[in-house]
Amino acid sequence: MKTQFYDLKIESQEDGTIRLEQGDCGEAVIIDLHPQQILYMADCLRGRASDAQTFADKRINILESRLLWAYNRFNACHAALPSDLYERCSEAPEFSAWLEASLDVLTEYCADIEGVVDSSVSDDALPPHPLPADAASASLQGAEHVQRSLLNE
């Protein structure tokens, strides 16, 4: 077997060893390895790749759980809005629009999280909202003020 990989030539020897030859360094560098040595190195490198994948999997799980936490909190807040919100707070349409927009974004982000939020869930599946039709175009500015005023009441 004779293989060339960029400037690395890989060749099987008659004695069963594998010869690696690299020639771009000015002079050829040659090393003969037993196949078990190559397997050992591959296993070591595979372990590093496995560790990196394990780290990535853990990080993905953490990020998914944080997204789901935010989704559940916003959903609970939406469901707990008082029915007389529009009578009590003049900026309720802006807050409600902001909250619904946030829920829409979180629903989209969580749609691909397996077994949690079905991406085919329609808006009808969300809790009923008190947003009047004309408030859909309401400005999202001032949502923080509305949140503070609701917390202070």
Half-sphere exposure of residue 58, counting CA atoms within 13 Å on the CB side? 6
| Torsion region of 123: left, alpha or beta (phi above 0 gives left; psi -120 to 50 gives alpha) | alpha
Name residue, tokens 């390895």. Answer: 33
**Beta strand residue intervals within the chain, DSSP E:** 2-5, 8-12, 18-22, 29-33
**DSSP label at 113?**
S
For 108-149, the pLDDT digits (tens) are 888 888 655 444 344 444 444 444 433 333 333 344 444 455
For 44-87, the pLDDT digits (tens) are 888 777 777 788 888 998 999 999 999 899 889 888 888 888 88
**DSSP label at 121?**
-
Query: In sequence order, what are the beta bridge partners of 22?
Result: 8, 29
Half-sphere exposure of residue 153, counting CA atoms within 13 Å on the CB side? 12
| Cβ(145)–Cβ(91) below 8 Å | yes
